[in-house]
Amino acid sequence: MFPTQRPRRLRGTPALRRLVAETELRPRNLVLPMFVRENATEPVPIASMPGVVQHTRDSLRKSAVEAVAAGVGGLMLFGVPEHKDATGSGGIDPKGVLNVGLADLYAEVGDATVIMSDCCLDEFTDHGHCGVLDADGAVDNDATLSLYAQMAVAQAAAGAHLIGPSGMMDGQVGVIREALDDAGHLDAGILAYTAKYASAFFGPFREAVQSSLQGDRKTYQQDPANAREALRELSLDLAEGADLVMVKPAMAYLDILRTVADNSDVPVAAYQVSGEYSMIEAAAAHGWVDRERIVLETLTGIRRAGADLVLTYWAAEVSTWLT
């Protein structure tokens, strides 16, 4: 006679559950995205992202120190410029808000955390696209690559440890790697946005960076209907020299995350994006969900699906819960 099968035996006490837990969520697994606004005199709340602000240079430094003290694994910086143009020149200018913000972060926290930069033109172009436009109004892939190369070098010079090309241009990782090496930034790594989907979950982020986008990005970001495409992008990014790869968004793409993790020989990141954050904050504000439990559950699920690190707007707060 077979013994009684009782899987519940290992669920009976907190100590048992902790002992056999398969997935761990620690502060080091979390990366905090941050926004710095040019010439801001006080932090500016982002209405669609409660608790998140566009920082001044001073509040950016202060919040970075607090996040590092809480144990976060890294900081990802986005810039909000006052002026934009057709080529996104503010993203390349060493005195532009993003590069100044990166330099501020490095001066404040140095190598105590990993400073990551968003290497994309969308925050800096007056048309809001991730690249420059050709005469027909389409994004010009190859013309954009040369600007990404310049942008990456400027970001590495400002202090970024990891460059994050998020524009989904073909060949972007290889071009950036070559430019960084040629400029002597051999130790600057690349966090490739490998599977970035044309998602409705990015809505609040566009408020956060005051996006000028008209239309959509479906000609260069991936179709939410497609999965195999992600493996093709992964293969290309790895061949071009990516040091880490990322899936974005996270929660609606856990199948993609699992597939990428199973096929990657470098660390895998996932970005729990603005829309995912805002939905949970809105539900919690109405008392419909237990905020702390659901935040931890979603982050644990993303880790369980294969993410070595998770970019989340809760990174600093969650890190205080975990320590």
Tell me the DSSP string of 285-305. HTTSS-HHHHHHHHHHHHHHT
- Collapse the DSSP code of 199 into the 3-class scheme (helix H, G, I; strand E, B; otherwise coil) and give the result: coil
pLDDT of residue 139: 92
| Average pLDDT rounded to a whole number, residues 182-192 | 97
Residue labelled with tokens 């809480």 = 70
Max mean pLDDT among 117-131, 180-194, 199-213 falls in 180-194
Question: What would the two tokens of residue 192 be?
Answer: 């490739």
Confidence of residue 210 (pLDDT cuts 50, 70, 90): confident
Residue 150 CA neighbour count, 13 Å, CB half: 13
Burial degree of 21 (CB within 10 A; 0-12, 13-18, 19+): exposed
Whether residue 43 is preceded by a cis peptide bond, meaning omega within 30 degrees of 0, is: no
**Is residue 288 assigned to a domain?**
yes
**CA-CA distances (angstroms) from residue 42 to 38, 109, 244?**
11, 21, 34
Residue labelled with tokens 């070595």 = 308
**Is residue 202 assigned to a domain?**
yes
Q: Report the C-alpha gap between 87 and 206 in whole angstroms.
A: 19
Exactly one of 62, 95, 196, 218 is catalytic; name it. 196
Give the tens place of pLDDT for each residue, 5-31.
888 889 999 999 999 999 999 999 999
Confidence of residue 1 (pLDDT cuts 50, 70, 90): low
Of 166-170, 251-255, 291-295, the least confident: 166-170
Percent of the chain clearing pLDDT 90 (strictly above): 88
pLDDT of residue 118: 95
Residue labelled with tokens 């400002």 = 158
**Is residue 3 assigned to a domain?**
no
**Is residue 6 assigned to a domain?**
no
**Is residue 109 assigned to a domain?**
yes
Q: Report the C-alpha gap between 245 and 238 in whole angstroms.
A: 8
- Collapse the DSSP code of 81 into the 3-class scheme (helix H, G, I; strand E, B; otherwise coil) and give the result: coil
Contact (CB, 8 A) for 74 and 32: yes
**Is residue 197 assigned to a domain?**
yes
**Is residue 18 assigned to a domain?**
no
Domain that holds residue 189: 24-322
Q: Is the pLDDT of residue 182 over 70?
A: yes
Higher pLDDT, 38 or 7: 38
**Is residue 198 assigned to a domain?**
yes
Q: Report the C-alpha gap between 30 and 267 in whole angstroms.
A: 13
pLDDT of residue 128: 85
Give the tens place of pLDDT for each residue, 302-314.
999 999 999 999 9
Contact (CB, 8 A) for 250 and 196: no
Contact (CB, 8 A) for 264 and 195: no
Question: What would the two tokens of residue 323 be?
Answer: 């320590």
Exactly one of 62, 84, 218, 248 is catalytic; name it. 248
Q: Chain-wide mean pLDDT for the chain?
A: 95
DSSP state of 125: B
Confidence of residue 2 (pLDDT cuts 50, 70, 90): low
Quick check: is 196 catalytic?
A: yes
Q: Report the C-alpha gap between 244 and 131 in whole angstroms.
A: 22
Q: 164: which strand partners?
A: 118
Domain of residue 105, CATH code: 3.20.20.70
| Average pLDDT rounded to a whole number, residues 92-105 | 97
DSSP state of 133: B
Quick check: is 218 catalytic?
A: no
Contact (CB, 8 A) for 269 and 310: yes
The b-or-e profile of 61-90 (16+ CB within 10 A means b, else e) is bebbeebbebbbbbbbbbbbbeebeebbbb
Q: What is the count of structural domains for the chain?
A: 1
pTM of the model: 0.95
Contact (CB, 8 A) for 310 and 250: yes
